[in-house]
Amino acid sequence: MTTPTLVIRNADVRTMDPAAPRAEGVAITGQRITAVGSNAEILDLAGPSTRQIDAGGATVMPGIIDAHNHLRLGATSPAVHLAAATNLEEIHALIAEHVRRHPSIDWIEGDGWNYAAVPEGRPTAQMLDAVCGDRPAWLFSYDVHTVWLNTAAMHRFGIADTGEVPFGTLERDADGRPTGWVHDFAVKGIHPEGQRVLAGIVPGYHVDAQYRRVVTNLRDAARFGITTAVEPQNGLDDVALFTRAREEGELRSRVVAAIIHTPNDDRSALDDIAAAAKQYADDRFRLGPVKLYIDDVVEPHTAAMLTPYANAPGCCGQTFWPADDFADLIVDLEMHGLQAFVHGTGDRGIRTALDGFAAARALHGPRDTRHQIVHAECLSPEDIPRFAELGVAACMQPRHCAPDLVADWRANVGPERERYGWAMKSLHRAGARLAFSSDWNVAEMDPMIGLYTALTRADLDGNGAWNLEEAVDLDTALRAYTVGSAWANFAEHDRGVIAPGMLADVIALSGNLHAMDAVGLLDTHVTHTIVGGEVVFEV
């Protein structure tokens, strides 16, 4: 055997390989894992030039495969972060302090506000005008599905009493006037048409600003042990951001990039996506999945529900496609050999997506399509077994169910439906493949926070745990972040498991995950991130 270039020893290796689930050491030669075994076996392979990493008894595991990470989002230009605000007065105070610290900014850009912090959960421009003055304000909600504008921003965009904008849907008052609340941003605003408009107006959307975000997020991904990041929503124009990062040595983690397709896009766009998927298809950067939205989100009552919202009688939300049209689209995707990532949060939205997959299967017969339903927040129990039956992955974000984030969500769906909110354990027991992720920048990128929340369903102070019937154990969560996400992205042949022949995508942690309680996860960090045998991050 060729002398390893790197060995890790004195570790609690959790391989995710059922044939050999635990070991003490790993040997890496070039880009691949060449041996897994005891300390003696691994050290016997090392030579004078072999680098050795002593894990000190801590966990070593496959690199995290973050199955839903918006690498193009987040704030790198001066921005006000509003996640800590619990009411409008605190939002005003944070904005005022931001303006004081950055007196020369042209725009007030911000993110993270929670619907529960806004009166009646319905933001208006007038709520911002006094504190923002003549500066236009562009403020994202924490889920990046809603944008809050002040009057100056509406003027800057040319928003009048009539008409629409290309980056979302304008909420209007009883007289038909735009209120400053723009929803459906994640569907329309991250679409290439919406991005082009924003790039010419909002500083944070200029191409250079977008590239800075990608580089910053890739560096953070390496720091958090994410060896593969799945960027779930791009236009073909955005490919240039990742090829530039690769050329400049910034593509530390592997990237899978999905391309968005909306009801307004011509079906011929699938031909272009399929062609691009053939062009970009190596293990470092791959295109191919297609991002679809079947509905929006629960908090502003725009997710599609089977029965009316508990606090909005008569409102069931809506799907972006009629059911038959969506099923026809899935058939077309499969004919192009393309995988679907379907954003689905409401129980009717999720059922419509599953019905579409079932219609394609009835026509094509069983295929290894591995379509994903992303988020899968509010499930009808009748639909839980269908994930496994149809070979559909549940791409879920454990942090999303934290009690400090879901007050409005729970009030909207009501107590009966919340029992199957983020039904991770029920899906797992029913044989569904779980693929966990962060959904950065909607939630923290750090997978330790996701692991903690999957186990506790509590906030970061350990309070407010709810629906513990759907909490999962540590091993289930670890598999969902590794081999589960690998399978969901057609990558299980070379990553997600520590075994000879696999790509050497390995991380070492600061402690032994199986020797601590859930709270200890929050104090655990990555000490080494190895991608393809190269140490891309170390403390």
289-325 pLDDT, tens digit each: 999 999 999 999 999 999 999 999 999 999 999 999 9
Predicted local distance difference test score (pLDDT) of residue 297: 95
The domain at 6-63+502-538 falls in which architecture? Roll (2.30)
Predicted local distance difference test score (pLDDT) of residue 205: 81
**If you ran DSSP here, which 8-state letter would residue 3 be given?**
P
Could you tell me where in the chain the CATH 2.30.40.10 domains are found? 6-63+502-538
Could you tell me where in the chain the CATH 3.20.20.140 domains are found? 294-481
CA distance 136 to 154: 8
CA distance 225 to 99: 35
The domain at 294-481 falls in which architecture? Alpha-Beta Barrel (3.20)
Q: Which CATH class is domain 80-200?
A: alpha beta
DSSP-assigned states of every residue in 6-27: EEEES-EEE---TTS-EESEEE
Predicted local distance difference test score (pLDDT) of residue 253: 98
Give start and end residues of each alpha helix (H) in 61-150: 88-101, 126-132
Residue 169: its H or E element: strand 169-172
DSSP-assigned states of every residue in 192-232: HHHHHHHHTT-GGGSHHHHHHHHHHHHHHHHHTTEEEEEEE
Could you tell me where in the chain the CATH 3.10.310.70 domains are found? 80-200
Query: What residues in the chain have per-residue pLDDT under 70?
Result: 1, 75-77, 162, 190
Predicted local distance difference test score (pLDDT) of residue 519: 98
Predicted local distance difference test score (pLDDT) of residue 77: 65
Q: Which residues contact 92 (CB under 8 A, 6 or more apart)?
A: 130, 131
CA distance 366 to 391: 9
Predicted local distance difference test score (pLDDT) of residue 75: 66
Predicted local distance difference test score (pLDDT) of residue 160: 75
User: HEC string of 353-410?
Assistant: HHHHHHHHHHHHCCCCCCCEEEECCECCHHHHHHHHHHCCEEEECHHHHCCCCCHHHH
Q: Which residues contact 282 (CB under 8 A, 6 or more apart)?
A: none
Q: Does pTM top 0.75 for this prediction?
A: yes
Question: What are residue 391's phi and psi, to 5 degrees?
Answer: 65, 35
Amino acid letter, 451: L
Which 3 state secondary structure label does DSSP give 32? strand
> Beta-strand (E) ranges in 10-89?
12-14, 22-23, 25-29, 32-37, 51-54, 59-62, 64-66, 80-81
Lookup result for tokens 């038909």: 176
**If you ran DSSP here, which 8-state letter would residue 102 be given?**
-
